[in-house]
Amino acid sequence: MSETNETEKNIFCPDCKNKTWDKWCQNCNSKRLKQDFSKWTSGNELIDKFIREAQLKAKNHLEVIEWIPYNRLRNIQYLDEGGFSTIYKAILLDGFINKWDEKNQQWKRYSNDIKDKDYEDAKKGGITSPLNENEKHGHTVVLKSLNNSSNINDDFLNEWRNYMIYIYSEDHYKLLSIKLYGITQDPETLNYMIVMEHMEFGSLRTNLMVKKCNPVDKYYNLYYITQSLSALHNSKLVHGDLHSGNILLSNNMIAHISDFGLSKPVGKLTKSNEVYGVLPYIAPEVLRRKSYTKAADIYSLGIIMWEMTSGIPAFNDVAHDHYLMLEICRGKRPEIKEVRKVFDDIENQKKFECLEKEYMELMIRCWDSDPDKRPTAAELHKHFREWYGAIIIPKTSLPDDEVIIRNHPLSCYKSRKFDYISVSENLDLEDCRIPQ
């Protein structure tokens, strides 16, 4: 951020005269939010406490979360299902808190004019809580419904408590993070739902072929991914479940890390005999029952780096079973292919090949069997900062004759629970189990 932009964001509060950031006075706004505590409740003491603590700590509008009544949501539409959650798209009526309106002495909310298409969608099947014609302003959001969360406990809030630690970090102000708007509850299932920012371009996994056809994109994407991962690691947290399905794209270049459900303090052991995740991205030492470290996140990133060059999910042609677990522990990694031709000009092609060679070498270091030999997130970020913009290639659309990628019927790219491998030195097959 330039000095000019920084100066524009730093102004003085008209009430207390303290310096503010982005027109947000933490001193005054925390008091205003506290005055509103009596006006709302989730009906759950743990959730109320979590939201209130977050509101009092908010240093800008991006850090404010709310209890969102379910009746403020419209055009709720199923999108996808993960290992432990179901994802929906919806419209949040009147949007989210943006700043304090001094003139009218109330919260000013950020929202958009609802589009004609949204009213048309309201009349289609598969939509619940459809828009009414008199509802004119809202903001598109994603709802993440955690399965079987009606009897909530403190573990449910782990994802978002760690996420708040991450966004409170000093490094966060250099980042573009996914905005968390608040929490709501489905009145039918009683499952709690996280209301969060909608990413227009979806997940990296659904865009892998686009990245293969536009090979320079990955340098930009990984610049932002490693920036966020470095900030997370600097907060003494690890992600714990990094894969291309939970990296979301707001446009072709900017990538965001999401799904902090398995994030945890560095070095904290998982419960005995359990490991969670998507098998191709789980580091071999984690499968061997070692504690999850920052280096395990780097391993996952190395697999993602390979996917961005291949255009397909890792190990998509084999079953994700105990045999693959053992092979990963024995050193099996995705097959590295030759750098393809993207330039007719010999000099540009040579420059591209040299850069891709460095990329491959870095990728191989990321998935080294020895965690101590893997680079740090900060080192990776430094490389991608140097590489993005080094080569410019015109954007390419997917070819009309694009090959359809067919995954093995027993592959699985959703997070799930595995039994730990009790792997001895000879990798005993009988001790490696996956629950049915």
pLDDT tens per residue across span 316-351: 999 999 899 999 999 999 999 888 888 888 888 898
Residue 221 sits in a domain of what CATH number? 1.10.510.10
Residue 21 has pLDDT above 80, yes or no: no
| Pair 269, 390 in one domain | yes
Residues 308, 290: Cα–Cα separation, whole Å: 28
| Pair 160, 284 in one domain | no
**Of 132, 163, 197, which closes a domain?**
197
Helix (H, G, I), strand (E, B) or coil at 20: strand
| Pair 252, 378 in one domain | yes
Residue 393 in any domain: the answer is yes
DSSP one-letter code for 344: S
Q: What is the pLDDT of residues 223-266, one digit of tens each?
A: 999 999 999 999 888 999 999 999 999 877 789 998 876 655 54
Q: Quick one: pLDDT at residue 320?
A: 96
Total-model pTM: 0.88
> At 105, phi and psi to the nearest 5?
50, 55
> At 217, phi and psi to the nearest 5?
-50, -40
8 A C-beta contact, residue 204 and residue 248:
yes
**Of 197, 220, 240, which closes a domain?**
197
Q: HSE (CB half, 13 Å, CA atoms) of 360?
A: 16
| Pair 261, 158 in one domain | no
Helices (H) and strands (E) in the chain, counts: 12, 18
Residue 398 has pLDDT above 70, yes or no: no
8 A C-beta contact, residue 178 and residue 144:
no
> If 0-12 CB within 10 Å is exposed, 13-18 middle and 19+ buried, where does residue 161 land?
middle
Residues 63, 98: Cα–Cα separation, whole Å: 10
What range does the domain containing 129 cover? 26-197
Task: List residues bridging with 106 in a β-sheet.
Answer: 101
| Pair 268, 409 in one domain | yes
| Pair 115, 255 in one domain | no
| Pair 193, 206 in one domain | no
* Residue of 209, 432, 431 lying closest to 322 (CA atoms): 432
Residue 116 sits in a domain of what CATH number? 3.30.200.20
Residue 245 in any domain: the answer is yes
Residue 16 in any domain: the answer is no
| Pair 218, 74 in one domain | no
Percent of the residues in the chain that have a pLDDT greater than 90, as a whole number: 59
Q: Quick one: pLDDT at residue 3?
A: 36
| Pair 155, 33 in one domain | yes
| Pair 256, 190 in one domain | no
> At 381, phi and psi to the nearest 5?
-60, -40
Residue 298 in any domain: the answer is yes
Q: How far is CA 259 from CA 112, 247, 248, in A?
A: 26, 9, 10
- Which of residues 435 and 379 earns the better pLDDT score? 379
Task: List residues bridging with 256 in a β-sheet.
Answer: 248
Q: What is the pLDDT of residues 103-162, one digit of tens each?
A: 999 999 999 999 999 999 999 989 999 999 999 999 999 999 988 887 777 766 776 787
| Pair 72, 174 in one domain | yes
Residue 404 in any domain: the answer is yes
Residues 87, 73: Cα–Cα separation, whole Å: 14
**Of 169, 197, 225, which closes a domain?**
197
Residue 54 in any domain: the answer is yes
Domains of the chain: total: 2
Residue 35 in any domain: the answer is yes
Residue 218 in any domain: the answer is yes
Please report where in the chains the tokens 């050193």 appear, as a residue: 331
Q: Quick one: pLDDT at residue 403?
A: 67
* Mean of pLDDT over the chain: 86
Q: How far is CA 307 from CA 69, 330, 416, in A?
A: 40, 21, 21
| Pair 145, 265 in one domain | no
Residue 50 has pLDDT above 60, yes or no: yes
Q: First-to-last CA distance in the chain?
A: 51
Residues 196, 167: Cα–Cα separation, whole Å: 14
